[in-house]
């Protein structure tokens, strides 16, 4: 019986980990950004702006929320405004945390 409880808790633990995987995943979300910003965030997107690498999570979420609200950006902001429209608040949080650690 003890052994059964042990196996049961192991199974529950694995299920919990799997469930956690369904929340906003910064790495997966960054897949569609990497083309312009580089896999490690070090590229100047379309030759403009500053590289994302080195920016803090706070700076990143400020920029992304700003693009979404159309209150932030430089000469090519229209590109990022359309990118940011598709992001939820959780997406922006997960992306900012992920990119700040690149
Ligand atoms: C089609 C190319 C392209 C894609 C895809 C793209 N970006 Fe950008 N990104 C740009 C350009 C160009 C700029 C500079 C825009 C400007 O002039 O404000 C920029 C700027 C930014 C900035 C602001 C940096 C600063 O200077 O403060 C952030 C943050 C950012 N992008 C994050 C993302 C994230 C996160 C994604 C994916 C969801 C993404 N971008 C997808 C082209 C792209």
Q: Tens of pLDDT along 22-73?
A: 578 999 999 999 999 999 999 999 999 899 999 999 999 999 999 999 999 9
pLDDT of residue 6: 58
Ligand 1 binding pocket (C-beta < 6 A) is 32-33, 35-37, 45-46, 48-50, 52, 60, 63-64, 73-77, 79-80, 83, 95
Q: 83 to each of 4, 32, 38, how far by Cα in Å?
A: 49, 9, 16
Residue 12 has pLDDT above 60, yes or no: no
For residue 87, the ligand 1 atom closest to its alpha carbon is 38
pLDDT of residue 24: 87
For residue 29, the ligand 1 atom closest to its alpha carbon is 38
Nearest CA to ligand 1 atom 32: 64
């Amino acid at each position: 019986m003890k052994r059964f409880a042990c196996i049961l808790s192991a199974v529950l633990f694995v299920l919990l980990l799997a469930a956690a995987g369904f929340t906003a995943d910064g790495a997966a979300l960054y897949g569609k950004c990497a083309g312009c910003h580089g896999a490690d965030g070090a590229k100047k997107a379309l030759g403009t702006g500053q590289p994302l690498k080195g920016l803090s999570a706070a700076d990143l979420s400020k920029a992304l929320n700003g693009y979404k609200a159309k209150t932030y950006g430089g000469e090519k902001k229209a590109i990022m405004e359309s990118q940011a429209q598709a992001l939820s608040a959780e997406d922006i949080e997960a992306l900012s945390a992920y990119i700040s650690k690149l």
